[in-house]
Structure 1
């Protein structure tokens, strides 16, 4: 065949097999001719033939684009097929486990994950974006931030964090004890890898943070659920035994919202010391208490306690930063840094530098004060809306803290997962309460994030939920 015929059939096959997608632009004739070592007239001739037969459309001054309606009479050319999927090399046991849990699908699409009432989103409109952009511009051309640095984290950020945690959360840590991570999830994964062996048993809150369960399960850890009490994890339900690790959220139980008292925290520390069990303290939403001062973190309540303190900037700043931190005992800093180097490498330096200045210059504290007042107003509004539109249908678990509200169905026969799906189709987010349970004995309800909602979205969303139910 001539070069023209060869090129025409090749492009036609790529179009019909969707290697060239509908609406995509073909290369300029001059560029394609140069790349293929043929004359430009040959390429132009092929493009015109494709247009004449309906495979591409021409746009004046722009070029040729794959047609949205291909010729009906044509069929995709035969493409050689390999073996069936079931005959391909298998996944690992871990891969099979994830495939089974996901049902073959990935996580929520971004547009679904960021709907009004989606859990874990701060108020983006309230974020001081102009100040943030100024700090980015300040650091964006610094050569020192363009290369490699430290697996442990940017020193100015660790210094700023140590000052903040010691003052606001009652810790007694030094910058050398802080390890910067790619979000809280990497911190949890490091704890699972370094503090436990496959087959060991960890204790998790029920209901509790699913991210902790995922991090532990992915490392071959067995889970045992601890029930929820009035203020959070039920201290009385903890038995003596061979446990290596306990994950908990004492400052704002996730997702039910309880706050452990100081005496309960001391009891929990004493239990951990008796049983030689590590505690991973996830200080979730500690900054957002509306009617009382937050109680000091467990990690700062006694000297030399077996506590790993964990936090992140996902709720206080932006989840897109993927920036978290661990405060670990000094004798374990080296191994945590080494494990981070093995599994994830360095945390982006530019982001760390911007956050460090954001804290040092006082913007972080001012932003927290404004957010605390704003979220309190939104929380009170949510309470009023639920009392007005969901009375007799759902009962709020009223805790005056945090960025979300948990609601329990009065009739537990309701399928909360199905309700969430139908609510999402109406344009609203949220999570089924049953998804926070490890065992099958779960409560049914919804967890609704209110921080990133406007007044109108809250009114419309709660009314829509009432009508849906």
Structure 2
């Protein structure tokens, strides 16, 4: 039973999203089927659009998965499990089977997290006489913001201090805050196409009109952006999602000139910047900005742990007072627990974060290279690699005619889960997103060989 209050300011879909998320994290098991959109709409006398928005947000954050003609189910990726033993929902009859290999494109293995060290630092943080009887700093704890600022200055060339840092509860929380910052004065946002769909959904939910701007080998096509009336743009310049391209310095300068000339603002999502395997990343766009026009977004999800739900913003000085006003008006506070913040602060202060990054880069570089070579060896000229060299996945596209929806269904029957570009972009941008971060090295070769057998079987059908 969900409690929805139509008389409060919080949107109904957010209330429903939070209620279902709480039920998933506390009561439901992986594979559990959720009520249909129609059933919830009728039972709670709300619109189907409200329910769909809540489900879309849960899907975007990985809490649920959608199985065609079957409905929504609690995602198996939420469970911690031994390397290749998770529980999944079979699409054809909703019965459970063992998932042998999951190519989820944004996951780390459970043993990649420094659990023993984290426990020790957690205890140390708890012994520091933290004040659990008071509300914490709205922007996040000062000590953690100091450490984040020092890291960004050193490693990403970001020009900032702790006063500009806002600690958030994951990417969605960060984007909700940015959307709130500009919702009263701006009514549209330019976004990359193809791009990260969650960003567009969040701004769309706030009533912004979305202006898709094509991406080429240099990232966002700035000439097409300049042809619009947009004053706000969201980009992933370090490792564009999903194509993997990097925006060169010349285009970054051109984009900054656009912002200065038009009075626009740039949201720089430094997506996957820490996980580069073939060359050093270009310093942040924010670090090149001399007109206070860039909002920088970072997260600890890809390199440390998605489960911690810790992200951060670097706000331009021009936006800090507006942020404080919004916090007062909407009673907003940092939603990351005090214990997590103080443990992460110690993790960074004592040098463990940078050592962990080196370890994670090395580990995933090996996986990346192994998957790349195995794909080329096993599939030969049946595929082309269209994105590689960073992040936790390699993007491939068939060079022969194969029904990828049928391939996915056949793979699922064999305990192999694959992810398609069309899930987010429709048939306009189809590809296979081959995640390696959640697989052990020893599993990668066997997983790809098994996929090849399923591939050939699908071609024969």
TM-score scaled by length of structure 2: 0.76
Matches within 5 A, 1:367-406: 367-406=356-395
1:365 offset after TM fit, Å?
Answer: 0.5
Q: What are structure 2's unaligned runs of at least 5 residues?
A: 1-38, 60-65, 80-86, 89-98, 456-461
CA contact (8 A) 2:388 2:395 kept: no
- For residues 131-146 of structure 1, the aligned pairs below 5 Å read 131-146=117-132
Aligned-partner SS, 2:233: strand
Q: Secondary structure at the match of 1:464?
A: helix
Match of 1:19?
Answer: none
SS in 1 for 2:322: helix
Point out where structure 1 has 5 or more consecutive residues left out of the alignment.
Answer: 1-83
1:312–1:425 Cα change, 3 Å: farther
TM-score of the two chains, using structure 1 as the length reference: 0.75
1:94 to partner: Cα distance: 5.1
Q: Secondary structure of the equivalent of 2:301?
A: coil
SS for the counterpart of 1:238 is helix
Matched, 1:282 2:269: yes
Contact in 2 for aligned 1:151/1:347 (Cα 8 Å): no
Contact 2:244 2:388 in 1 (8 A): yes
- Do residues 98 (structure 1) and 53 (structure 2) align? yes
Check the 8 A contact 2:139/2:333 in 1, yes or no: no
Q: How many Å separate the matches in 2 of 1:86 and 1:240?
A: 41
Paired residue for 2:231? 244
Distance 1:188 1:327 in 2: 12
Identify the residue that residue 358 of structure 1 maps to in structure 2: 347
Preserved CA contact (<8 Å) 1:204 1:213 = yes
Residue number among 180, 186, 191 corresponding to 1:204 in the alignment:
191
Give me the whole-angstrom Cα distance separating, in 1, the residues matched to 2:232 and 2:73: 29
1:12-411 to 2 correspondences below 5 Å:
90-92=45-47, 95-98=50-53, 105=72, 108-109=75-76, 110-111=78-79, 116-147=102-133, 148-197=135-184, 200-337=187-324, 339=326, 342=331, 345-411=334-400
1:466 aligns with 452
Tell me what 2:94 maps to: none
Q: Deviations over 1:189-215 (max 9, x none)?
A: 111122235992212112211221221
- Partner of residue 436, structure 2: 450
Are the equivalent residues in 2 in contact too, given 1:116–1:457 (CA < 8 A)?
no
| Structure number with bigger Rg | 1
**Residues 1:143 and 1:170: Cα distance change in structure 2 (over 3 Å):** same
RMSD: 2.7
Q: Would the alpha carbon gap of residues 160 and 393 (structure 1) be closer, same or farther in structure 2, given more than 3 Å must change?
A: same
SS at 1:315 equivalent = coil
- Secondary structure, aligned partner of 2:190: strand
> Larger deviation: 153-162 or 440-449?
440-449
Q: 1:406 to 1:323 in 2, by over 3 A?
A: same
1:100: Cα distance to partner? 8.5
Provide Cα deviations, 1:4-27, integer angstroms capped at 9, x if missing partner.
Answer: xxxxxxxxxxxxxxxxxxxxxxxx
Whether the 8 Å contact between 1:289 and 1:372 is mirrored in structure 2 is: yes
Task: Work out the CA distance in 2 between the residues paired with 1:190 and 1:412.
Answer: 44
Deviation at 1:300, TM superposition (A): 0.8
Q: How many residues get paired?
A: 383
Residue matched to 2:420: 432
